[in-house]
Amino acid sequence: MNQHVADRLRFLRAFVANPRQVGAVLPTSRFAVRDMLDLGDVPGAGLVVELGAGTGSQTAEVLARMKPDARLVALEIDRNLAKLLQERFDDPRLQVVCDSAENLHDHLGGQKVDVLVCALPFTSLEPGLRRRILEELPRVLAPRGVALVIQYSPLIQPELRRLFGSVQRRISIWNVPPAFLFACALEAPAEDR
């Protein structure tokens, strides 16, 4: 069985075991991942964080775009998927953490995040957990950093607008289902002020 099919099966098993935590039946397509990462400056980032790393479909593309001395902290709450990530990527820039995204600040050593990539299923999370994670995002972001959020519904947009000075939205139609991509910054761009 090839890796693509095996990853889909692993992801499906994780979804069946805990659908609210995983939130999707299939991993995000490489087209949607590329569309999302195009919204941020991954090549210029010193610290990149990935929330909801899953089987690594985003991790591989992030690592391919990162500079040699950058650092990627990938959080994945599912123990089996976190183990898979550690086995799959032999890259000294990557630190895989098996923990909830609400504890992100515990794993950053006080450093601020340049690019935060988030694939968490916010609409299926318990409301209190969703709020705690969302409120963590602007707190850990560097002043000129960007939070890239992928969702399968636009319902999270009002909450993102409440937390960030700038929220841009794009739709990636080459994903099943189509993905809503949000690029969130602490301040609105100078031309919008």
Q: Which residue has the higher pLDDT, 177 or 16?
A: 177
Which pairing describes strands 141-151 and 179-185: parallel, antiparallel, or unpaired? Answer: antiparallel
Report the pLDDT value the prediction gives residue 188, as an integer from 0 to 100: 76
Predicted structure pTM score: 0.84
Domains of the chain, residue spans: 3-192
Q: Which CATH code for domain 3-192? A: 3.40.50.150
Average pLDDT of span 24-32: 69
- In the DSSP assignment, the letter for residue 44 is T
Report the pLDDT value the prediction gives residue 13, as an integer from 0 to 100: 53
CA 136 to mean position of chain CA atoms: 13
Q: Which residue has the higher pLDDT, 131 or 29?
A: 131
Q: Return the C-alpha torsion angle 187, 184, 135, 142, nearest 10.
A: -60
pLDDT tens-digit map of 47-101:
999 999 999 989 999 999 999 999 999 999 999 999 999 999 999 999 999 999 9
How confident is residue 15, by pLDDT bands cut at 50, 70 and 90? very low
> How large a percentage of the chain has pLDDT more than 70?
83
